[in-house]
Amino acid sequence: MNERYSRQVLFPGIGKEGQEKISRKHVLIIGAGALGSGNAEILARAGVGKITIVDRDYVEASNLQRQQLYTEEDVAEKLPKAAAAEKRLKAINSDVEVRAIIGDATPEMLEELVPDVNVMIDATDNFETRMGMNDAAQKYNVPWIYGACVGSFGMSFSIIPGNTPCLNCLLRTIPLQGMTCDTGGIISPTVQMVISHQTAEALKMLVEDWEAVRTSFVSFDLWRNQYSSMKMSKAKFAGCLSCGEERTYPYLDRDNMTKTTVLCGRDTVQIRPAKAGEISLEQLSAQLCSLGYKVKGNPYLLSVEMGGERMVIFQDGRALIHGTKDLTHAKTIYQRIMG
């Protein structure tokens, strides 16, 4: 057994056999922000065989306070978080296969990725994506770990298809929607606590110690010194469309996904093109420069400015329009620049 993991192997809950299992497993992390970067680093250091990380955003200065994989250089280069995370994770542990996907975790993407993974970790910032993850997990029988945090408050729950209530069931009992936006600020210890809960559960699942997996819903407030753990077995709902007796997986229907989204905690609107497909950033840059726009870019995205307005365009055609929460105004800017 690799000396690198010797201290982990000494832990009775993992041991040599558990470490070998970890090295053969595939973890999917949706979101490469605070929770995603922390989960990814711990699991990479633990020797997980393969990590796939999906994220739609790029690194900004405000991320550095709590998103541990990123540097000031990443901010200056406007690197997509997934690309920056892949680079850092490979430097941390070259034994781990890392795949970065720059884009939205759409129903089509989830249907493609989830059947091939052993555990999925929620590190996203919106419930539309979470509900898609939940349906994909139920459809393909993949366990996943919900996590969210804001301010000094955090929560986590392990979802095992066929055993525990799913996220759709929980929404009938616990008002989780308030946790989707970080407008109230965030302190890094809150992030680290949620990460600890998520990665501990992930390791239990990866070594297949299902009896050790926590089935209670955990929430805490580090600033007010509060911690609670609620049993959720009675929350399972037979009529649930995601995990019930007549399930239809409604959140895997692309028609139920919005094409425009206001990003949490930011004056930014994301617009997805009606048809997905790669665009030539080089050609688009030349075209926009000829029209008088100020354009900066890297192999992953272009930053376009004119008259105090700024839009970032990704290779998959998605765009982030900064400085507004007005969807109509954002669409106007998008159409003016993209044509």
Q: What is the pLDDT of residues 261-283, one digit of tens each?
A: 777 667 888 888 766 678 888 88
- Of 319, 30, 62, nearest to 183 by C-alpha is 62
What tokens were used for 222? Answer: 């580090």
At a CB cut-off of 8 Å and minimum separation 6, what does 335 contact? none
In this structure, the answer to whether residues 204 and 299 fall within a common structural domain is no
3-state secondary structure of 8: helix
| Last residue of one domain, picked from the residues 221, 255, 289 | 255
> What does the pLDDT read at residue 182?
46
Residues 8 and 112 in one domain: yes
Q: What percent of the chain has pLDDT over 70?
A: 94
What average pLDDT does the segment 124-128 reach?
83
Examine the domain organization and report whether 311 and 220 are in the same domain. no
Q: Which of 181, 240, 243, 264 is catalytic?
A: 181
- Average pLDDT (86-113) is 95
**Would residue 289 show up in a list of annotated catalytic residues for this protein?**
no
Domain count within the chain: 2
pLDDT at 1 over 60: no
| Mean pLDDT to the nearest integer, 224-250 | 93
> Which two structure tokens, joined as six digits, stand for 77?
């280069």
For residue 104 the two structure tokens come to: 């939205």
Domain's final residue, options 225, 255, 285: 255
* Full domain range(s) for residue 300: 258-338
269 shares a domain with 242: no
Q: Assess whether 100 and 159 both reside in one domain.
A: yes
Q: What is the CATH number of the domain that holds 299?
A: 3.30.310.10
Residue 269 or residue 138, greater confidence: 138
Long-range contacts (CB closer than 8 Å, 24 or more residues apart) made by 330-333:
330/260, 330/269, 330/271, 331/260, 331/271, 333/309
Are 153 and 105 in the same domain?
Answer: yes
Residues 245 and 278 in one domain: no
- Identify whether residues 117 and 180 lie together within a single domain: yes
pLDDT value of residue 165: 95
Handedness of CA 239, 244, 246, 249 (dihedral sign): positive
Last residue of a domain, one of 232, 255, 278: 255
Interval 93-116 mean pLDDT: 95
Same domain, 147 and 264: no
Please give the pLDDT value at position 127: 81
CATH number at residue 119: 3.40.50.720
Both 183 and 203 in a single domain? yes
Amino acid 181: pLDDT: 46
Q: How confident is the model at residue 49 (pLDDT cuts 50, 70, 90)?
A: very high
Each residue's pLDDT tens digit, 169-190:
998 887 665 544 445 688 999 9
> Average pLDDT, whole number, for the chain?
90
pLDDT tens per residue across span 323-333: 888 888 888 88
Q: Which has the closest alpha carbon to 265: 42, 37, 66, 38? A: 66
269, 244: one domain: no
Q: Say which range, 3-12, 87-96, 165-174, has the weakest mean pLDDT.
A: 165-174
333 and 190 in a common domain? no
